[in-house]
Amino acid sequence: MKRAIFPGSFDPITLGHYDIIKRAVKLFDEVIVAIGINAEKKYMFSLEERMQFIKDAFANEAKVTVVSYEGLTVDFCKKNNVKFILRGLRNPADFEFEKAIAHTNRDLAPIETVFLLTAANTSYISSSIVRDVIRNHGDYTKLVPNSVRVK
C-alpha cells in the first residue's frame, strides 16, 4: 500500500493545497494530510478548525485521512509506516527550500519526497496571503475550498 503524508500547518487550507491533494489521491492509496503542531507559532485558526476544514473539503474522498502530529515528520513516517512525503511547489524558491528538507529527511530515514507542481491558476496562493485577505476583510472565498469559513 503506497501511503503519503502531506505535512503542513494548513492555516488555512488553500485551493493550492486542495489541488495537490486531489492529484495525489490518483498516485497513492492513501494521502495523510498531517497538521504539524508548533507551539511557537501563532495560528489564525485552531487545530480543530483546520482539521475540520480539510475533513469537510474531502468528505467524499475515502483515500484522504486528516491527523495532527508533533515532532519530526520523518518520525511520524517511521511510526506510521509511511514511505513518501508529498510537497507542493509554487516557484523556484519553494524548490530550493523543500530540496534541503528532502535531503535532510532522506538522511534521517528511508523516505522519499515527491514534489508536485501547483496548478498555474493556484500557484500564487499561500496561506499567509489568505490570512492577510481575511484580516483585511477581503473576499478570501476565491482562494480556499468551500469548507473554509470565517466566523
Q: What domains, with CATH codes, occur in the chain?
A: 3-142 (3.40.50.620)
Backbone angles phi, psi at 128, to 5 degrees: -65, -35
51: left (phi over 0), alpha (psi -120 to 50) or beta: alpha
Confidence of residue 38 (pLDDT cuts 50, 70, 90): confident
Torsion of CA 88, 71, 110, 104, to 10 degrees: 70
pTM value is 0.94
State residue 100's pLDDT score: 94
State residue 39's pLDDT score: 78
Query: Catalytic amino acids?
Result: 17, 41, 90, 127
Residue appearing with cell numbers 480556499: 144
Cα–Cα dist 25/90, whole Å: 19
pLDDT at 50 over 90: yes
pLDDT digits (tens, 9 = 90+) for 84-143: 999 999 988 889 999 999 999 999 999 999 999 999 999 999 999 999 999 999 999 999
